[in-house]
Amino acid sequence: MRGALAGPRQLLRRLREVMAEPVNAQTRLDRIVVHIASNMVAEVCSVYVLRSDGRLELFATEGLNREAVHLTTMRAGEGLVGLIAESAEPLALADAQSHPAFSYKPETGEEIYHSFVGVPILRGGNTLGVLVVQNKARRSYSEEEIEVLQTTSMLLAEMIASGELQSLAPAGTVISLRKPLSLTGTPIADGVGLGHVVLHEPRVVVAQLVAEDLKKEESRLDEAIAALRVSIDHLIDGDEHVGPGEHREVLETFRLIANDPGWLRRLREAVMTGLTAEAAVERVQNDTRARLQRSTDPYMRERLHDLDDLANRLLHQLTGQPFVTANDKLPDNAILVARTMGAAALLDYDRRKLRGIVLEEGGPSSHVAIVARALGLPVVGEMPNITNLVEDGDAIIIDGGGGEVHVRPPADLQAAYAEKARFRARRQEQYRDLRDTPAVTRDGVTIELHMNAGLLVDLPHVGETGAASIGLFRTELLFMVASQFPRLNEQVSLYKSVLDAAPGKPVTFRTLDIGGDKILPYMRSFEEENPALGWRAIRIGLDRPALLRSQLRALLMAGGGRDLRIMFPMIAEAIEFDEAKAMTQRELRHLERHGYELPSDLKLGIMVEVPSVLWQLEDMLARVDFMSVGSNDLMQYLFAADRDNKRVSDRFDPLSAPALRALKLIADKANEAGKPVTVCGEIGGRPLEAMALIALGYKGLSMSPSSIGPVKAMVLGLDVGEARAHLLPLLDRHDGGHSLRAGLRAFAEAKGVPL
Ligand code: PEP
Ligand code: MG
């Protein structure tokens, strides 16, 4: 069998020589088809390249009428060549003309050829063209011959990807790989970014496709696979650090694949055709990707991710290339493109060089989204296969608000977005000018605009935005980006640095809101059927008091001699607050006994985010010093609509009568009781929603730093009396409408309230 493959290896060597010759692209391509035809003892060898208009153009031929080069084209799906491009699979026929898809192109003179074999030219699972061989005689092509063609097509893929063939395309047409793409995903964080693609996991560049020494490549492959297996075993056995996203289940799948005889056989066969070990891995993965991407079975498509990951690990093993882009290789305007990414990985990049993030997976409340928002970066998610559609360095535009991504955008689109980015920058400047203007409505009501934070990188924003205070500090984010559970003194210094960053402004620390989807990588997590309704936040805090106690102690120590505000998340009944308060007081007494300086003032409050609180507001208000409405969770529980599930998360509108009635009830009761109440969920940072909240009676809103400017501009143009007079009668109507959004928007427009 090996002997039979000496021909292909010789061919690859020839082709490598041709690739190195100092000739123009057309000559190189012409020589390549001659070599392939002669090596395969075929009369015809042709290369078709896919153009951005979807047509396959004949770029070179040996054997067909050469006049037809750059003239003959066909649609994807048209003829045998079109069929191969569409299915991304090889096709071999002893009698091509009897195939129903056969389409005759008279200018090529191909009717005299009976046998036909064609393979797609693939890169990253995308079809770039088709390579065809034909014979006059009716003959069958062996598996080995098809393999050879697939291998040689990799060289052609490299040529196409290098841009060398672009000069041969007729004026006005572009080869498909370089074509502009406009894609829509899920908006995750607002903002516009223009820059260049940086693949978070850089594709391994296979510098040498053709093997010098086959034996050596075989043993390199074997060694790399053995090392890969050992490293996976270590990961599973817990000997090595398991990175984010590397869950046991995924690793078990890796282990299965790494030992799968079919996968290993395909890799070895690819090496036998004369490829280097790394080129063999890439070839096998290209075929697998092309096949699985067309699968309609979601399970199979999921496996593709695992296979991609594993192939990638093997490539890194073979080439020793780094897993992530180093900061010194980052362009000044980097747009990260990733399948998924952990919050900690994002924080490893140099923030000053980042302009946005595009993710294949990842919803609006994923951790990376929360961190990206804190960094002020636009993010678009749910963009399948984007990592295979772009190359490092491609020009790219991201529009986070609309969930749009433009890859290799044409000049006019670039100009339009550059203008949009300038406009936004001008508006940000105007907002900055408002920094020291108090947020007072036209009818003299002062609204306090606070800032949400959760990372140390957020802290400079307190001064920049002129926020009244940090209305919500999500402490779990500090824990999520740490590599191990922060010890007491580490927590004290973290909290101190938060307080130091906001001198003279109160900070409301929320105790750990972990569980559900907020997992600490170093803490054991539990599988739950309904994590959002499960063991999370204060529930963990009360059931495992050591955790909450140490956090409370650290907060009280950090707040020594200052004003301190602590807030408990997910409170569902009054007794939970009582217990948390008792725990806080025990810690206070402990610190007092040991001579620590205590906070000069301590206020304790709750998040209102579980609907049961709505029917015990009096009980709660009698106990707490303040309340903050977590509308993200409150809405998810009121409407029974998972905030992380994009099929339902936008189904119900917080600007609907039932939601606003619930929000009004909280404001009314708190105002009656004389206890401060704010809204710290996402709705507080959206000008239209914020207008409605103020009309309902809220005088404090806490939001992400970038929202403070737009909300303040709205407040300055608002007459609360008018807005209230408009909104309250609508809440008394019982016409069962889905949303009051349009009416509120029309009101704002009529009154000139800037939104
Ligand atoms: C909320 O639920 O509205 C909230 C502010 O908290 P988080 O988004 O962290 O759950
Ligand atoms: Mg919440």
Q: Is residue 222 part of a domain?
A: yes
pLDDT score for 2: 37
Are residues 195 and 295 part of one domain?
Answer: no
Question: Which of 268-282, 296-310, 360-374 has maximum average pLDDT?
Answer: 268-282
Whether 441 contacts 716, CB under 8 Å: yes
CA of 48 to the centre of ligand 2 (A): 55
Of all protein residues, the one whose alpha carbon is nearest to atom 6 of ligand 1 is: 630
Whether 353 contacts 333, CB under 8 Å: yes
Q: How many helices (H) and strands (E) does the chain have?
A: 26, 22
pLDDT mean over 473-489: 86
Q: Is residue 208 part of a domain?
A: no
pLDDT at 5 over 50: no
Give ∠ CA 734-739-743 in degrees, rounded to 5.
95
Nearest bound ligand to the CA of residue 476: 1
Closest by CA to 379, choosing from 341, 350, 416, is: 341
| pLDDT level of residue 253 (50, 70, 90 thresholds) | confident
Are residues 355 and 399 part of one domain?
Answer: yes
Which numbered atom of ligand 1 lies nearest the CA of 628? 5
pLDDT mean over 628-638: 96
Of all protein residues, the one whose alpha carbon is nearest to atom 3 of ligand 1 is: 630
CA of 538 to the centre of ligand 2 (A): 11
CA of 452 to the centre of ligand 2 (A): 12
pLDDT score for 239: 45
Q: How many domains does the chain have?
A: 4
| pLDDT level of residue 73 (50, 70, 90 thresholds) | very high
Q: Is residue 179 part of a domain?
A: no
Whether 499 contacts 556, CB under 8 Å: no
Question: How far is the C-alpha of 488 from the C-alpha of 494, rounded, in Å?
Answer: 10
Across 42-63, b (16+ Cβ under 10 Å) vs e yields: bbbbbbbbbbbeebbbbbbbbb
Candidate of 539, 680, 698, 702 to mutate for ligand 1, largest count of ligand atoms within 8 Å of Cβ: 680
Q: What is the CATH number of the domain that holds 494?
A: 3.20.20.60
Q: Is residue 48 part of a domain?
A: yes
Are residues 113 and 80 part of one domain?
Answer: yes
pLDDT at 710 over 80: yes
Q: C-alpha distances in angstroms, 136 versus 44, 360, 371?
A: 9, 47, 63
Candidate of 188, 477, 633, 686 to mutate for ligand 1, largest count of ligand atoms within 8 Å of Cβ: 633
CA-only gyration radius of the chain, Å: 31
Higher pLDDT, 27 or 176: 27
Which tens digit of pLDDT belongs to each residue from 44-54? 999 999 988 88
Poorest-pLDDT segment among 26-30, 116-120, 285-289, 459-463: 285-289
Domain end (from 289, 319, 349): 319
Q: Is residue 58 part of a domain?
A: yes
pLDDT score for 420: 85
pLDDT score for 693: 98
Q: What is the CATH number of the domain that holds 270?
A: 1.10.274.10
pLDDT mean over 574-602: 98
Q: Burial, 570: exposed, middle or buried (Cβ in 10 Å; 0-12, 13-18, 19+)?
A: buried
Are residues 134 and 114 part of one domain?
Answer: yes
pLDDT score for 248: 66
pLDDT at 717 over 50: yes
pLDDT at 637 over 80: yes
Question: Which of 76-80, 303-307, 669-673 has maximum average pLDDT?
Answer: 669-673
Single-letter amino acid, residue 283: R
Whether 180 contacts 410, CB under 8 Å: yes
Q: Which of 367, 450, 461, 726 is catalytic?
A: 367
Q: What is the CATH number of the domain that holds 377?
A: 3.50.30.10
Are residues 389 and 444 part of one domain?
Answer: no
pLDDT score for 646: 67
Distance of CA 606 to the CA centre of its chain: 32
Please report the beta strands in 684-743, taking only residues with DSSP state E, as ranges in sequence order.
Answer: 700-703
Q: What is the CATH number of the domain that holds 123?
A: 3.30.450.40
User: Would strands 470-474 and 507-510 be described as parallel, antiparallel, or unpaired?
Assistant: parallel
Of all protein residues, the one whose alpha carbon is nearest to atom 9 of ligand 1 is: 474
Can you tell me whether residue 301 is helix, strand or coil?
helix
Give ∠ CA 721-723-727 in degrees, rounded to 5.
120
Whether 31 contacts 19, CB under 8 Å: no
Sheet of 115-123, strands arranged across? 73-75, 55-62, 44-50, 126-135, 115-123, 91-93
CA of 577 to the centre of ligand 1 (A): 18
pLDDT score for 571: 98
pLDDT at 459 over 50: yes
Domain end (from 262, 285, 319): 319
pLDDT at 544 over 70: yes
CA of 680 to the centre of ligand 2 (A): 9
Q: Is residue 438 part of a domain?
A: yes
pLDDT mean over 558-573: 97
Closest by CA to 385, choosing from 362, 361, 406, 360, is: 360
pLDDT at 121 over 50: yes
pLDDT score for 87: 84
pLDDT score for 92: 93
Can you tell me whether residue 316 is helix, strand or coil?
helix
Of all protein residues, the one whose alpha carbon is nearest to atom 8 of ligand 1 is: 632
pLDDT score for 365: 62
Domain end (from 319, 335, 353): 319
Question: How far is the C-alpha of 642 from the C-alpha of 309, rounded, in Å?
Answer: 29
In the annotation, is 680 catalytic? yes
pLDDT at 245 over 70: no
Which numbered atom of ligand 1 lies nearest the CA of 569? 6
Are residues 474 and 399 part of one domain?
Answer: no
Poorest-pLDDT segment among 338-347, 402-411, 599-608, 622-631: 338-347
* Non-local CB neighbours of 443 within 8 Å, separated by 6+ positions: 719, 720, 721, 722
pLDDT at 400 over 70: yes
Which numbered atom of ligand 1 lies nearest the CA of 682? 3
Are residues 92 and 149 part of one domain?
Answer: yes
Which numbered atom of ligand 1 lies nearest the CA of 472? 5
% of the chain exceeding 90 in pLDDT: 54
pLDDT score for 243: 44
Question: How far is the C-alpha of 654 from the C-alpha of 691, rounded, in Å?
Answer: 13
Residue reference for tokens 């595009």: 358
Closest by CA to 29, choosing from 156, 169, 170, is: 156
pLDDT mean over 116-136: 90
Are residues 292 and 362 part of one domain?
Answer: no
Are residues 369 and 480 part of one domain?
Answer: no
| pLDDT level of residue 4 (50, 70, 90 thresholds) | very low
| pLDDT level of residue 506 (50, 70, 90 thresholds) | very high
Poorest-pLDDT segment among 139-153, 235-249, 663-677: 235-249
Higher pLDDT, 490 or 110: 490
Are residues 194 and 68 part of one domain?
Answer: no
Of all protein residues, the one whose alpha carbon is nearest to atom 1 of ligand 1 is: 630
Nearest bound ligand to the CA of residue 630: 1
pLDDT score for 644: 73
Q: How many CA atoms lie within 13 A of 733 on its CB side?
A: 13
Closest by CA to 250, choosing from 301, 291, 307, is: 307
Question: How far is the C-alpha of 560 from the C-alpha of 755, rounded, in Å?
Answer: 41
CA of 681 to the centre of ligand 1 (A): 5
% of the chain exceeding 70 in pLDDT: 95
Give ∠ CA 479-521-482 in degrees, rounded to 5.
35
3-state secondary structure 368-415: HHHHHHHCCCCEEECCCCHHHHCCCCCEEEEECCCCEEEECCCHHHHH
pLDDT mean over 81-86: 91
pLDDT at 433 over 50: yes
Closest by CA to 397, choosing from 653, 227, 195, is: 195
Higher pLDDT, 528 or 446: 446
Are residues 14 and 152 part of one domain?
Answer: yes
Q: Is residue 586 part of a domain?
A: yes
Closest by CA to 35, choosing from 5, 4, 9, 71, is: 9
Residues in the 5 Å CB sphere of ion ligand 2: 609, 630, 633
Q: Which of 450, 461, 680, 726 is catalytic?
A: 680
pLDDT score for 244: 40
Task: Please list every protein residue whose CB sits less than 6 Å from any atom of ligand 1.
Answer: 472, 474, 513, 609, 630-633, 680-681
- Dihedral in degrees, nearest 10, Cα atoms 415, 418, 420, 425: -160
pLDDT at 401 over 50: yes
Distance of CA 684 to the CA centre of its chain: 25
The range of the structural domain enclosing residue 68 comes to 6-168
Q: Is residue 293 part of a domain?
A: yes
Average of per-residue pLDDT values in the chain: 89
Which tens digit of pLDDT belongs to each residue from 523-539? 776 778 888 899 999 99
* Non-local CB neighbours of 436 within 8 Å, separated by 6+ positions: 466
pLDDT score for 444: 98
Question: How far is the C-alpha of 564 from the C-alpha of 469, rounded, in Å?
Answer: 12
Question: How far is the C-alpha of 245 from the C-alpha of 248, rounded, in Å?
Answer: 9
Nearest bound ligand to the CA of residue 644: 1
CA of 61 to the centre of ligand 2 (A): 64
Question: How far is the C-alpha of 291 from the C-alpha of 285, rounded, in Å?
Answer: 10
Question: How far is the C-alpha of 269 from the C-alpha of 1, rounded, in Å?
Answer: 11
pLDDT mean over 638-648: 84
pLDDT score for 341: 82
Are residues 552 and 477 part of one domain?
Answer: yes
pLDDT score for 490: 94
Q: Concatenated DSSP letters for 601-620?
A: EEEEEEEE-SGGGGGSHHHH
Please report the beta strands in 536-682, taking only residues with DSSP state E, as ranges in sequence order.
Answer: 563-568, 601-608, 626-629, 677-679
